[in-house]
Chains A and B, each alone.
Chain A
Amino acid sequence: MTTAYVALASSTLGQAASTLFGVVEAVGGFIAILLIVFFVAGRATGRLQRPIAIVVCLGPALFLVLLGLVIPAITTINNSLKNQQFLGELNTKYIGLKNYTYAFTDPYTQQTIIRTVLWLLIVPALAVFVGLLVALLVDRMRYASIPKTMVFLPTAISFVGASVIWSYVYNYKAPSLPQTGLLSEVVMKLGWSNPPNWLITVPLNTFLEMVIMVWIQAGFAMVILGAALKGIPDEIIESARLDGASGIKLFRTVQIPMIRTTLVVVVTTVMITTLKVFDIVFTINNGNFDTDVLARQMYADMFVTNQVSRGSALAVILFLAVTPLVYYNIRTLRREREIR
């Protein structure tokens, strides 16, 4: 028996060694190729110099973009037009836009899309509102760093970690048993003797899941918006005060317009994150009890039930939905740069 163990151990060691060898080989090869390319490019002179420089500088980036973005996108779009039920090529044929018609006519998927839109509208608004509020309130406070850290800390927690934490908060136990969920315990202490089973009560559960997202994103919004608020020159605030603006009026007519660009960037960034929300819904309820969103349904179609084409169609829809936001985001940033 011992010999067998030794054999097993040595074979594992052998595997590890060969994997390591493979990695070293690949990385070494890559560097060697680069060195050769740069060497050749450095030697080139005359008419060829410029085209070669362009190819050498742009080539690797283009190659990676093709490999990591363009080709997968084309494959996904191509897949979304087939009838593929699983990763096998037999009996696969093109069925046109049927997967898209399905996505927009199937009642379950329709609900998923509506729910994703709700996420998109509510979460960025709330996250920015909370972030802005905290940023304003603590702006000139004495120990501002303490509340700021408290609000910012959740940003450092992974979505899955945050979801697990909150699933304990929302935990349900029959009222006669000792409570383990913080929310149930608190509302029961406040006199609500029979609280609902939070995570399966529709539509409350969706909003409770949004709270987690807001909890994570508010810190991000606070930091960026806080910095923007600080960036407003003191003279402007002072002269506004001399003109009689204070409190809400100052905020509405001076501070908000001054940080408008930052506000737009924060809102669109949170929107993009929200549109892709997967981890929270996946961890809390796995999309059950009417909480499903696009990204989770896409994952389930692709990898759980192997309906690759339907999943691909959802992926394309998600991609198309994110694109205008990304475009708007970039345009705003560009414009700001031009002003400066």
Chain B
Amino acid sequence: MKRNARFATAAVGVAALATVAGCSSGSSTTPSASAVPTLTGNCAQYQAYAGHSGSTVTMFGSILSPESDSLNKSWADFQSCTGITIQYTGSNTFESDLPVKVNGGNAPNLAIIPQPGLLAQMVATGTVKKPPAGTVANEANWNAAWKGYGSVNGTFYAAPMSANMKTMVWYSPKYFAANGYTVPTTWADLMALSAKMASKMTGTAKPWCAGLGSGTATGWPGTDWLEEVVLGTFGGQVYDDWISHKVKFSDPQIQTAMQTVAGWLQNPAWVNGGIGNVQTIATTTFQDAGLPILKDQCGMLQQASFYEAQWPKGTTVSATGDVFAFKLPAVNPSITNPVEGGGEFVTAFADDPATQAVQNYLSSPQWADSRIKVAPGWVSANEKVDQSLYTDPIDQLSAEYLADPTATFRFDASDAMPAAVGSGAEWKAMVDWFGSGKSIKDVAAEIDAAWPAS
């Protein structure tokens, strides 16, 4: 009898352990199906996602605090209403961590992938799950190009989350006003303005400043300059063919684009404002590159919308303030509104109902609105988003172009190319091109040679 009692206690202990393990384990655990509860009051709007209370969905991404705090806040109401817990983990080495996790059988339920190239790699491992019908339906809210970047070999896998605009030029409205310069709207105007500035500037002041430095990712700003010129000169088709390597870097069209970049940002009379000669572009970090604008040492900086975070405290960002941005005009005026941008894609490695509910919610305009309300510095390319919610002038500017259905939107090409090129050879080639004065022909040959043979 005593023996039996002891056995029973042990059994209870084991059961308790199992329960603890069940609650704390990362994978989603859906309680036994019961009638879907009816949500009322403020929670009524989440009715579509109800019925999975008690489940946990793990999410992995490259977004770190404080931005990840804003994410957590944006879905706090969703969590308390539906009872689904979203467990977000961020890593600054996300791109190398994710393949390791997936390969080790430890994939998160959802991953927020910023590169279509990485998404394609993940799909090739055979572990990515197709999105539920709700997410697919929401896809109509995006510019058609976005759906393409969330697809691999024609199959749609991941819905876009946030978006940023790369086709921007930062400048000082105060400096422009003091010198009687106006914001250029065509490429010809931009070049004329640069020449005019160069003739008036003295000492180390130059019309443009730029920097390629970015730690292990050194070189990426250069790929952006080339991408914008390719898109703005030849349009979307050539750009897409360039990503798939149907158009090589040695192709006359890309060579022309590289010549345009060289005439613009390797022109000794035009760069590198407040920093030094052309070569210094290769050693200046992209974060520091634009700061001479504040000291009237540099006229303009081509950098994405997220450069806003680099301005020091106390800088007013507005159309009449210390700094502001305008859209980089198309090199070829016949290309309508070319916009290059980046963004993230919500990729699922699980297909249980709770994960799919979160996936559906994150692809809805409702969630995007909720995220915009939390903090500025975040833009969605979702065309259904309430544009009046944006409070920050740069967010408003980016959203205007990103959610414009007539824009020729394209994703950052280097992020969509195979990693060996997009995060390897092309970065290196850009550094060589600006830093060592390598010829355009050699730079192109170097990148083409690194393209992985399939």
Contact = CB atoms under 8 A, between A and B. Distances in A.
A17 B20 CA distance: 10
B452 interface: yes
Interface stretch (B135-143, B173-181, B276-284, B311-319): B276-284
Contacts of B219: 288
B220 to A, nearest CB: 12
A176 B435 contact: no
A11 B85 contact: yes
Interface size class of A (residues with CB under 8 A): 35 or more
A8 interface: yes
B124 A14 contact: no
B96 A88 contact: no
A288 B204 CA distance: 26
A173 B276 contact: yes
B155 to A, nearest CB: 15
A5 B80 CA distance: 10
A239 interface: no
Interface in A53-95: 85-91
Given A173-B276, A288-B428, A304-B96, A202 B436 contact: yes
Contacts of A261: none
Contact of A85 (B23, B204, B418): B418
A8 B76 contact: yes
B435 A200 contact: yes
A7 B80 contact: yes
Interface string B117-134: 000011011100000000
Interface string A1-15: 101110110010011
A4 B218 contact: no
B24 A87 contact: no
Given A85-B420, A87-B125, A197 B279 contact: yes
Interface residues of B, number: 49
A85 B451 CA distance: 11
A4 B96 CA distance: 32
A305 B280 contact: no
Interface of A: 1, 3-5, 7-8, 11, 14-15, 17-18, 21, 85-91, 172-174, 176-177, 197, 199-200, 202, 282, 286, 288-290, 300, 303-307
A88 B85 contact: no
A88 B125 contact: yes
Given A174-B204, A305-B423, A90 B76 contact: no
Contacts of A90: 124-126
Given A14-B24, A18-B20, A86-B99, A172 B276 contact: yes
A199 B80 contact: no
B154 interface: no
Nearest to B127: A88
A31 B432 CA distance: 55
Contacts of B218: 286, 288
Nearest to A89: B125
Interface in B45-86: 72-73, 76-77, 79-80, 85
Contacts of A172: 276, 280, 283
A89 B85 CA distance: 32
A200 B425 CA distance: 18
A305 to B, nearest CB: 4
29 contacts: A1-B76, A1-B77, A5-B76, A7-B76, A8-B72, A11-B85, A15-B87, A18-B20, A18-B24, A85-B452, A86-B419, A87-B102, A87-B125, A90-B125, A172-B276, A173-B276, A174-B275, A176-B204, A177-B204, A197-B283, A200-B283, A202-B436, A286-B218, A288-B282, A288-B432, A289-B432, A290-B436, A304-B419, A304-B423
B420 A4 contact: no
B420 A307 contact: yes
B100 interface: yes
Interface string B415-453: 000111001110010011001100000000000000010
A193 to B, nearest CB: 15
Contact of B80 (A3, A14, A87): A3
Given A87-B102, A306-B99, 12 more contacts: A7-B76, A18-B21, A18-B24, A85-B418, A87-B100, A88-B126, A197-B280, A197-B283, A286-B218, A288-B432, A289-B435, A307-B424
